[in-house]
Structure 1
Amino acid sequence: MTSGNLTTAEEHVLEEIEEKDVDFLRLQFTDILGTVKNVSVPARQAEKAFREGIYFDGSSIEGFVRIQESDMRLKPDPETFAVLPWRTNEESAAARMICDVINTSTGEPFEGDPRYVLKQALERAKEMGYTVNAAPEPEFFLFEEDEEGRATTKTNDAGGYFDLAPKDLASDVRRDIIYGLENMGFEIEASHHEVAEGQHEINFEYDDALSTADNVGTFRTVVRAIAAEHDLHATFMPKPIARINGSGMHTHISLFTEDGENAFHDGDDEFDLSDTAKSFLAGILDHADAITAISNPTVNSYKRLVPGYEAPVYVAWSDRNRSALIRRPAARTPAASRIELRSPDPSCNPYLALAVMIHAGLDGIEKDLEAPDPVRENIYEFDEAKREEYGIDTLPANLGEAVEALEADEAMLEALGDHVSEKFIEAKKQEFGDYIVEVSEWELDRYLETF
């Protein structure tokens, strides 16, 4: 099957396809809103995909191109090849590769491809002498399905934070999810039941930022597929149930120098953080409102970002507590020094979310911004006057405010590029507008018979 100018990695994929009896390939990519799309081709088309790419109609994908500009090409990344754990049997298997999107008219990367947007952020970091590592902590809920197989909001357990069986009845599901992820090459650090009933978290190892973003999309796909095998519905909706904790995706990030040293570590500093880390942190705080539009991109995201439910709504940082937007986690080794942005939720597009975080942080380094003093008290207990005294702002209260902040932040618009920023803002304004005109059951229950 191999010949000519294929790379070693591509040839290795072709060998794996034969060895593992892979019949079909899912060529995956992500639209601007973060939805994973795929084109399924017979595995015998793999070599053609590597040499020529696979063509598709870009006009059918949310936020990609207009009908007259529709021809797009998928270029598979051989490093992302993995056999799908829920499609394997004794005779054959299906596998996936994550693709870059190419504009066929120019032969160049498509500027509306979220993976390309992240690659541009990483290129900026590289030019400044850094590589970027990241690790997300995506949380999710497991709900029962009704008799017709549709999702409900009824949890299948009554567990709480770090509970063990029998309260944590979903431990078997988490185990199967972990096995599936490990079969696809994930290195799982830990898994546990989260605070709310039916809520779970599975943490995977730190990796370079591009692999991390790829992994988030894969993670969501695997979790949903294996939950469905247990007749459960997995959702990454930020706040599916009122008045309990929502699902976040706390994101850890750090920079490394070309010689492999952690640029965020300084053993002589009170917080073990270098000036580089503090400027990076300050950059994120400076652009926090605009970042929120990307990291918390749905109307429902702002039902999570409210005081009282352990969600970070206050623009500050801390080396001790989790009430601030950014936390400096304890690090056992210099290589583990990092910062944790606690606002993102798992409904976000991981490529765009990481891209704006990285650009904001690099902006802080380039401008030599100084981080404010850390807030070591519980900000949740501050009243408005005390927050003003400390100079602590609050994140946007809703999607509309967040999009307005994004529109006003030239650095973050530039980070996304003209195409993505225009299409994203257009889609989110429409989403918020649709939400504003809806009348909810809460309003009917409260007002219909009262007035």
Structure 2
Amino acid sequence: MRDLEILMNPNKLVKHLKKPAREFTKYDIIKFIDDHHIEMLNFRYVGEDGKLKTLNFVITSKDYLESILSTGERVDGSSLFSYIDADFSDLYVIPRFRTAFVNPFTEHPTLDILCSFYIKGGQPLESAPEYILKKASTQFTKDTGYTFKAMGELEYYIIGKKNDLYPSKDQRGYHEASPYTNWENLRTEALLTIAQCGGKIKYGHSEVGNFTTDTHMYEQHEIEFTPVDAEEAVEQLIISKWILRMLGQKYGVIISFAPKITVGKAGSGLHIHMMLEKDGINYMNDEVGLTDIAKKFMAGILDKAQSLTAFGNSIPTSYLRLVPHQEAPTMVCWGDSNRSVLIRVPLGWIAKTNMIKDANPQERGDVPYIPGKQTVELRSPDGSADLYHLMAAIIMAANEGILAEDSLEKANKMYVNVNIFNDEHKALYHSLNSLPSSCYESAECLEKDSIFYQKDGVFPEGTINGFVKRLKGFNDKDMNERLFNNHEEIKKIVDQYIHHM
């Protein structure tokens, strides 16, 4: 299995070094740089705004390279994080070797590595986004004995010049193929590039959203990943967003992860799929169906669903997406294969079926049954999500759900098996708790759960206060009511936040 992981891996470092990325050492990085005549090294890290930053090094000698890789470098923390004072702002950035990849866009051969932040005494920066996630993930495994795995569905719009040669039907773009979709080539290039940079991709396809104006066409696409450890899940989303924007620049089109592009058209979410693993076994389901521990896991997330929006829906247009009849959740509940709920249990492979032999009667011998593919899907987050903080908060909520004695009872009460937006289910709809309808309401929910997120020292108090202040600063309370049917004002606010995240 390990040999296949190496042989079929598109990451150039994995192939050359003949080992999985998780085993990379400093001398592996040096060897690859030397063998491939790499001329530059980039340290990459995420600041408070969620975007990928860069520190460039020209490689002038092996001694200099070893020094950089051994001790990292200094950066100005006050320019990266608003809560760090300018009078004592130096931070170390230290590379995480397993994240190394060949930069696919530079003219000169360049290697990029993601970094973590450390303070003067050599300790991790407690408020660094990647360290908050690491703390949450470590505590989860310590408390439950399970590894939390996750992956994202990265939805985005490509906005380019209008082409009427093969017109597509409005809002009928789901799994459309060329020539009826114009940017399949950009998506497939993105898939290959992301994989070469270490992303574990499940598939890519065009999504529902498409429409045209007098001058431009808007196409929605999606890239979905496979479940990996939580930190890696966030890293591959951050790198993928950067790659897609770079390809947008290359092709002269706009790439937007904004939750809402225009009124009445499909918005873009960033659904998070999750699973529990121990000793290589997925504990989300057994031969009967969803396990009790999976239900407790979901109950914890549902219990904190309102405050989770503070991390997963961080701009005003997030709440233009979270409205009824747009395949986006508004109420706190869960269900099977149901796109009106907050947590959906997708169709799994529970039964030991023989579908492949039915489709291929010529297949000889036993076809292996491959279990362990079941996940549950949180449908509220969107492209504005602060990914490190969101994943950390989800993990903390799931942890509490697994440990709490009444979680199974709570989960059973929040299960629905109907479309809650249909008129005949109004009573059920109004019996459920609702998600916030603005950044301001989301901040109020976060304030109520503030002590919970500070448990075990995972989220510093200042981080929580910073989110509350920033969300309230949008002054968007009652925004949906104020903007109702005012398409001109909605367009202004959409344009304002189209590249905010």
TM-score, normalised to structure 1, is: 0.87
User: Which residue pairs with 1:24 in the alignment?
Assistant: 40
Q: 1:304 and 1:199 mapped to 2: Cα distance?
A: 15
Query: What's the secondary structure of 2:271's corresponding residue?
Result: strand
Q: 2:28 and 2:153 mapped to 1: Cα distance?
A: 31
Pick aligned residue for 2:181 from 152, 168, 182:
168
Q: Label 1:379 to 1:177 Cα distance change in 2 as closer, same or farther (>3 A).
A: same
Q: 1:219 and 1:108 mapped to 2: Cα distance?
A: 29
Q: Aligned-pair distance for 1:317?
A: 0.3
User: Which residue pairs with 1:78 in the alignment?
Assistant: 97
Q: 1:7-406, aligned counterparts within 5 Å?
A: 9-44=25-60, 45-87=64-106, 92-104=108-120, 106-128=121-143, 129-144=145-160, 158=168, 160-197=173-210, 198-257=219-278, 259-268=279-288, 272-332=289-349, 333-368=370-405, 369-370=407-408, 371-373=411-413, 374-382=415-423, 385-387=426-428, 391-406=431-446
Q: Aligned-pair distance for 1:382?
A: 4.4
Q: 2:141 and 2:391 mapped to 1: Cα distance?
A: 15
- Could you list the per-position Cα deviations for residues 248-299 of structure 1 after superposition, in whole angstroms to 9, with x for gaps in the alignment? 0111101112x2222322323xxx2222111110001100000011111111
For the Cα contact (< 8 Å) 2:26–2:70, is it kept in 1?
no
Q: What stretches of structure 2 of length at least 5 have no aligned partner?
A: 1-22, 211-218, 350-369, 490-501
Q: Which amino acid aligns with 1:99?
A: C
Q: What stretches of structure 1 of length at least 5 have no aligned partner?
A: 1-6, 146-151, 447-451
Q: 2:237 and 2:315 mapped to 1: Cα distance?
A: 18
For the Cα contact (< 8 Å) 1:264–1:337, is it kept in 2?
yes
Q: 1:236 and 1:338 mapped to 2: Cα distance?
A: 24
Q: Which amino acid aligns with 1:411?
A: F
For the Cα contact (< 8 Å) 1:86–1:180, is it kept in 2?
no
Q: Label 1:445 to 1:261 Cα distance change in 2 as closer, same or farther (>3 A).
A: closer
Q: Which amino acid aligns with 1:267?
A: E
Q: 1:57 and 1:157 mapped to 2: Cα distance?
A: 50
Q: Aligned-pair distance for 1:102?
A: 0.4
Q: Aligned-pair distance for 1:397?
A: 0.6
Query: What's the secondary structure of 1:393's corresponding residue?
Result: coil
Which region of structure 1 is more displaced relative to structure 2, 211-220 or 34-43? 34-43
Q: Label 1:434 to 1:366 Cα distance change in 2 as closer, same or farther (>3 A).
A: closer
User: Which residue pairs with 1:449 in the alignment?
Assistant: none
Q: Label 1:8 to 1:387 Cα distance change in 2 as closer, same or farther (>3 A).
A: closer
Which region of structure 1 is more displaced relative to structure 2, 405-414 or 164-173? 405-414
Q: Aligned-pair distance for 1:444?
A: 10
Q: Aligned-pair distance for 1:8?
A: 5.7
Q: Aligned-pair distance for 1:26?
A: 2.1
Q: Label 1:83 to 1:348 Cα distance change in 2 as closer, same or farther (>3 A).
A: same
TM-score, normalised to structure 2, is: 0.79
Q: Which amino acid aligns with 2:33?
A: I
Q: 1:393 and 1:246 mapped to 2: Cα distance?
A: 22
Q: Label 1:210 to 1:382 Cα distance change in 2 as closer, same or farther (>3 A).
A: farther
Query: What's the secondary structure of 1:380's corresponding residue?
Result: coil
Q: Aligned-pair distance for 1:64?
A: 4.4
Within the alignment, does 1:432 sit opposite 2:451 as a pair? no
Query: What's the secondary structure of 1:73's corresponding residue?
Result: strand
Query: What's the secondary structure of 1:379's corresponding residue?
Result: coil
Q: Label 1:48 to 1:431 Cα distance change in 2 as closer, same or farther (>3 A).
A: farther
Q: Aligned-pair distance for 1:115?
A: 0.4
Q: Label 1:62 to 1:243 Cα distance change in 2 as closer, same or farther (>3 A).
A: farther
Query: What's the secondary structure of 1:247's corresponding residue?
Result: coil
Q: Which amino acid aligns with 1:212?
A: A
Pick aligned residue for 1:419 from 462, 466, 471:
462
Q: Label 1:62 to 1:442 Cα distance change in 2 as closer, same or farther (>3 A).
A: farther
Query: What's the secondary structure of 1:307's corresponding residue?
Result: coil
Q: 2:293 and 2:82 mapped to 1: Cα distance?
A: 36
Q: Label 1:290 to 1:444 Cα distance change in 2 as closer, same or farther (>3 A).
A: closer
Taking only aligned residues, the RMSD between alpha carbons, in angstroms, comes to 2.6
Q: Label 1:182 to 1:385 Cα distance change in 2 as closer, same or farther (>3 A).
A: closer
Q: 2:488 and 2:345 mapped to 1: Cα distance?
A: 44
Q: Label 1:440 to 1:378 Cα distance change in 2 as closer, same or farther (>3 A).
A: closer
Q: Aligned-pair distance for 1:413?
A: 4.5
